[in-house]
Structure 1
Amino acid sequence: MNALLNKTECEENALAKEFVQFAIDCGVLRFGEFKTKAGRLSPYFFNAGLFDDGARLGRLAQFYARAILASGIEFDMIFGPAYKGIPLGSAVAVALAAAGHNKPFAYNRKEAKDHGEGGSLVGAPLKGRVLIVDDVMSAGTAVRESIALIRSAGATPHAVAIALDRQEKATENGQDAPWSAVQYVREKLGLKVCAIASLAQLLQYLEQDPQSLPYFKAVAAYRERYGAA
């Protein structure tokens, strides 16, 4: 049993390392000083919007598909919340289909359409266990909105797939919360969460790369101050 767990962990770490290198090469993962939505000064910044051509988006979707399949999470369809979740969710649906797991896909509009087919939902009807696909979770707001939409359609919000788990304390009313957004979604909302890579795995990558040692120290200090398991 331990050997199996160790093998799975090694595979997850290898996938995460490959993904972190890809994100750095694409300029999606950067190091310096960046202000977060919570007003913190972060030594790193992850901007999935910079996976901005067909090749990058296609490879990103393959990372998602590999992580989702490796997680063992079972689901019936994919939902991409507006706006970033729309291209992410659709690309992931294509990648999963190419891997032999064809699933229906839907997304929402920010504003309901009052002509044509009407409504705020587009794509396959929401039903069964729904996997929400997004880039990162900072406060879990987009996930909560997605959950409400999915439940109102009579389906079950079941899991969330993200690119990077920042493992960082969320904020409530301007104060640090004792949990991260991912922990909140797992423990308070009861959804499974799958991430291609975590902050802990990013730190492993930086620590093993001699050229990244200054970044490692800054990111490690940030995690020491704001980190959540």
Structure 2
Amino acid sequence: MSDHRHRFLQLALAADALRFGQFTLKSGRLSPYFFNAGRFDSGSRLAQLGLCYADAVAAAGIRYDVVFGPAYKGIPLATAMACELAQRGQDLPLSFNRKEVKDHGEGGQLIGADLNGKRVLIVDDVITAGTAIREALSIIRAAGGTPAGIVVALDRQEIASETDSRSAAQAVAEEAGIPVVAVATLADLLEFASGNPELVGYRQSLEDYRSRYGIAAKR
């Protein structure tokens, strides 16, 4: 497992953003783990998280000009990553959207950098059904930008439905024709649990969940 993946999972566990037990997901599935990026709720945690995001994108080799955070959780995540990039000497523009179009003041739906003619990297927490990401893609294209890639914190690597064997991340990547990068995946979580005495007891339930809902392994 690469260093940024391990650091991210340690950080998520320490922040209680990664929890184990029994959780009913929006899909109705009963999951042995749950991830909540909202628990990265301090300056220190966000700074460390931004470092993990930046490392993941650098490892993927995505080329982009603007960092974009979809409302709401994507906004602090994209901001944290942009701050980390600036520390590395890569001071890139930042943009994000409003949930509702503003009809007074400066107006519009976008806040921050102009996207026109720019390659835009979307930064978010997870891709569940893909609805929020697809909305972000539409907003970027309408503003004249070109989506360059998507980076999320955790890819659960599970099928979208009984009739669609792709994960939500795979579906979005294929539809948009751009890479979707995860800081860590369910496979990483399984490896992490194996090497952590406090979590090894959860490994079997994670394996069982992956056997039932996981996407097919790449050949």
Q: What TM-score, normalized to structure 1?
A: 0.90
SS at match of 1:45: strand
1:218-229 equivalences under 5 Å are 218-228=205-215, 229=217
Compare the two structures and name the one with the higher helix fraction: 1
1:211 Cα deviation (Å)? 3.2
Q: Which residue of 2 aligns with 1:18?
A: 7
1:19-77 per-residue CA deviation (whole Å, 9 max, x = no partner) reads 11111111110000011111100000000000001111111111111111121110010
1:176 Cα deviation (Å)? 4.9
Of 131, 134, 146 in structure 1, the residue corresponding to residue 124 of structure 2 is 134
Q: How many positions carry a matched residue from both structures?
A: 215
Q: Which residue of 2 aligns with 1:178?
A: 165
- Aligned equivalents of 2:110 and 2:176: distance in 1? 22
1:161 Cα deviation (Å)? 0.7
Q: Determine whether 1:158 maps to 2:145.
A: no
Question: Is this contact kept in 1: 2:7–2:52, CA < 8 A?
Answer: no
Two-structure CA RMSD over aligned residues (Å):
1.2
- Aligned equivalents of 2:52 and 2:129: distance in 1? 23
1:8-47 equivalences under 5 Å are 13-47=2-36
1:119-142 per-residue CA deviation (whole Å, 9 max, x = no partner) reads 111001113111000001111111
- Aligned equivalents of 2:91 and 2:152: distance in 1? 19
SS at match of 1:225: helix
SS at match of 1:179: strand
Q: Which residue of 2 aligns with 1:199?
A: 186
Q: What TM-score, normalized to structure 2?
A: 0.94
Q: Which residue of 2 aligns with 1:217?
A: 204
- Aligned equivalents of 1:37 and 1:177: distance in 2? 17
SS at match of 2:78: helix
Worse-matched range after superposition: 36-45 or 162-171:
162-171
- Aligned equivalents of 2:11 and 2:90: distance in 1? 24
Q: What is the identity, as a one-letter code, of the residue corresponding to 1:133? A: V
- Aligned equivalents of 2:8 and 2:69: distance in 1? 21
1:188 Cα deviation (Å)? 2.4
- Aligned equivalents of 2:206 and 2:191: distance in 1? 11
Identical amino acids, percent of aligned pairs:
52
SS at match of 2:149: strand
Q: Which residue of 2 aligns with 1:107?
A: 96
Of 175, 181, 196 in structure 2, the residue corresponding to residue 188 of structure 1 is 175
1:208 Cα deviation (Å)? 2.0
In structure 1, the gaps of 5 or more residues are 1-9
Q: Which residue of 1 aligns with 2:53?
A: 64
SS at match of 1:210: coil
Q: What is the identity, as a one-letter code, of the residue corresponding to 1:132? A: I
In structure 2, the gaps of 5 or more residues are none
